[in-house]
Amino acid sequence: MISAETYDDEITLRMLAAASDAYDMPINDLLVRFGRYWIVFAERGSFKFILDFTGQDLRGFISNLDRMHVGVQAVMPQAIMPSFRVAEDTAEKVVVEYRSTRTGLEPFVTGLFQGLAERFGVEADVQHLGWYGDASTFAILFK
Ligand code: HEM
């Protein structure tokens, strides 16, 4: 069954801090790993059909991220969704703008993109390029 429950960010942050202590791992490293793990976790469970539906390749999947989150929001009205926009798409790289009401989740996004690259069998480096205006920008560089 899919859980449509949401938690306060406060609880998530406390859990992260506790995990960081328990594993003696910086929170940012934990967030990268959590992002990668989330994709594997979603593939194994009831979220798989959403992943399958969202896109059959990395570029297509990323360009559908907003539509997918809007769809999920319909069944989770309390969720506060991020937004992703493809700013550049070439043979060498995809540049993606990430917008959120939350701060500090960039390492999580890095891990999610790494997990997606793995899911689609693509060898790529994920770089956080920085903040430009209200957007946090990432590059997925194909090897
Ligand atoms: C089956 C797949 C997915 C589902 C069902 C899903 C659902 C959700 C939900 C419900 C939230 C909001 C949490 C809340 O406010 O309570 C969320 C947040 C988020 N999602 Fe997804 N998501 C999926 C895949 C992805 C993927 C592939 C990415 C890749 C970049 C992504 C990026 C994010 C980020 C960064 C957030 C954090 C919220 C923020 O930045 O403000 N999600 N997602």
pLDDT in tens, 96-133: 999 999 999 999 999 999 999 999 999 999 999 999 99
Residue 4 above 90 pLDDT? no
pLDDT at position 115: 98
Compute, in angstroms, the gap from residue 81 CA to the centroid of ligand 1. Answer: 7
Residue 1 above 60 pLDDT? no
The answer to whether 142 touches 124, Cβ cutoff 8 Å, is yes
Compute, in angstroms, the gap from residue 66 CA to the centroid of ligand 1. Answer: 10
Residue 7 above 90 pLDDT? no
Q: What is the pTM of this model?
A: 0.94
Distances (CA, A) of 43 to 10, 40, 95, 118, 134: 27, 5, 24, 12, 31
pLDDT at position 132: 92
Residue 3 above 80 pLDDT? no
Going by the DSSP 8-state scheme, the letter that residue 30 receives in this structure is H
At 51-93, the pLDDT tens digits run 999 999 999 999 999 999 999 999 999 999 999 999 999 999 9
Nearest-CA residue for atom 37 of ligand 1: 82
Nearest-CA residue for atom 33 of ligand 1: 82
Q: Which domains does the chain have, with CATH numbers?
A: 9-142 (3.90.1520.10)
pLDDT at position 2: 60
Structure tokens at 60: 């297509």
pLDDT at position 5: 77
